[in-house]
Amino acid sequence: MVFQKLRTNRRNQWIIIHLRYLVGFAFFPSGLTKLLGNRFTVLSTDTPIGAFFEAMYQTGFYWNFLGLCQIAAGILLMSQRFALLGALMFLAILSNIWIITISLSFTGTWIITSLMMIAVIILLIWDHHKLMPVLSYNRTVTIPSYPEPGRIWINAGMMYTICLMGLSVPGPVEKGLEQWVVRTLLILVVFTFLISNYKMYKKLNLHVKNQV
């Protein structure tokens, strides 16, 4: 009953939608770096952390594959419609990263990965009812129906994906055309955020007026 109230609360729905955007974007910079075959760090191989990342980089295709999986998980989360699949992929990848940051004593990084773990667990709890048929073997299960993100958020997710992928491309930003492209993408991100939230605000106000 408590979960049902939390799940149907519009403010909570808004938080979860934007948490998906945030968590999804978290994998874009590192994922693109790996996918394009670039090194993730410039630390000396004399350190355990530097040696670990250099060994991962030298695997070649596996390094690219990791990047591809990270980007795929991020895009699925951004899509809203396939967010559960994205969260499951994210959990599988992040669990390894989280343990690595703890075992190699990354300075401060383990705090970030721990917060990301909490975020993805929250996303899985939010959609746990969709996993009930898989977890309930040989039993009849009634799946509760909850509101799903509207077309506004799906379109916003597509726009965020395009813009944030462009902004996550590794390498310095040269003056001239590249600088203007970056500025344009940033403006589009802000514009998408404002428009999507304004449209939803108007929709909620109209819904409240109709009820009154």
User: What confidence score (pLDDT) does residue 212 get?
Assistant: 46
92, part of any domain: yes
169, part of any domain: no
Return d(Cα 66, Cα 35) in angstroms, integer: 7
**DSSP helix/strand/coil, 186:** helix
* Tally of domains within the chain: 1
**Domain ranges, residue 44:** 1-149
162, part of any domain: no
pLDDT in tens, the chain (212 residues): 677 888 888 889 999 999 999 999 999 999 999 999 888 777 777 777 888 888 888 888 999 999 999 999 999 999 999 999 999 999 999 999 899 888 887 777 888 999 999 999 999 999 988 887 777 776 776 777 788 888 999 999 999 999 999 998 887 777 777 888 889 999 999 999 999 999 888 877 655 455 54
User: What confidence score (pLDDT) does residue 76 get?
Assistant: 96
User: What confidence score (pLDDT) does residue 42 get?
Assistant: 75
Return d(Cα 57, Cα 96) in angstroms, integer: 16
209, part of any domain: no
75, part of any domain: yes
pTM over 0.75: yes
User: What confidence score (pLDDT) does residue 119 get?
Assistant: 95
Output the DSSP codes for 113-157.
HHHHHHHHHHHHHHTGGGGHHHHSTTS--PPPP-PPP-HHHHHHH
User: What confidence score (pLDDT) does residue 208 get?
Assistant: 47
Q: Give the relative orientation of helices 48-57 and 61-79 as an angle to the nearest 10 degrees.
A: 90
22, part of any domain: yes
